[in-house]
A = this chain, B = another copy of it.
Amino acid sequence: MLSKNQIKLIKSLGQKKGRQQEGMFVVEGIKGISEFLNSNYRLKNLYTTQPIFDAPDELVIEISEAELKKISALKNPNTGLAIFEIPDQKNTQTSGLIVALDDVRDPGNLGTIIRLCDWYGITDLICSLNTVDCYNAKVVQATMGSLTRINVQYLDLNAYLKTQKTTVFGAFLDGENIYTSELPNEGVIVLGNEANGISESIEDQVTRKVTIPQFGKIKKTESLNVANATAILLSEFKRRSIEK
């Protein structure tokens, strides 16, 4: 059985403010919940219609399909809804490649960028304070479990970049051609907002502007989607490490 207070809590976690106040977030669906249960994330409660999850009994609350429907944000709820604790921010590693986002706003973009970092062995993702919250349900969903393996930090991006001694790469439309430039195994790769790109103050911190060149006769495309640009940049940086 679900209490009114439980329903109220879960609904409040649908908003960033609620998540920050409670220090918790929601994961839905069998696959997502299983990935988080198998990670370092701490489970607070698991609401499920079937006792199929590997979770401590005292945290599991069996509910009906109708009850799950009531608390789920999905059109087609899938077996369970779990509440996990938002972990404390960990410090970034100091070597290797780091991805940094300057106000990326679309949850699907952040989610697939987290998935890309995971694929390419990037362990740290830095987000400016106006980047969409990684514990937003749509982001969690889009990461397909990769959020459990990536250290996402929200911080003042400008201040952070000022302290960096490593190369700060920025994705621009008018930079060095990534296919023909020397790309190292270390550095921060900055990607900008969907509509406005990298902001001026962050641009000042960029030490190397890089660009993904356009091909074909007609060059009219204005830009690439930020997640696709991240995919291409990570592919190109990481490919070089095979060659070395």
Contacts and interface: CB of A to CB of B under 8 A. Distances in A.
Interface string A210-244: 00101111101111110111111001101101100
Contact of A235 (B217, B227, B232): B232
How many copies of this kind of chain does the complex include? 2
A217 B121 contact: yes
A165 to B, nearest CB: 24
A3 to B, nearest CB: 34
A187 to B, nearest CB: 16
Interface size range of chain A in the complex = 35 or more
A28 to B, nearest CB: 16
A236 B233 CA distance: 11
Contacts of A126: none
A242 B166 CA distance: 29
Interface stretch (A19-27, A57-65, A83-91, A141-149): A141-149
A180 interface: yes
A227 to B, nearest CB: 6
Nearest to A217: B121
A119 interface: yes
A107 to B, nearest CB: 11
A112 interface: yes
Interface in A167-210: 179-180
Contact of A119 (B112, B221, B242): B221
A145 B219 CA distance: 12
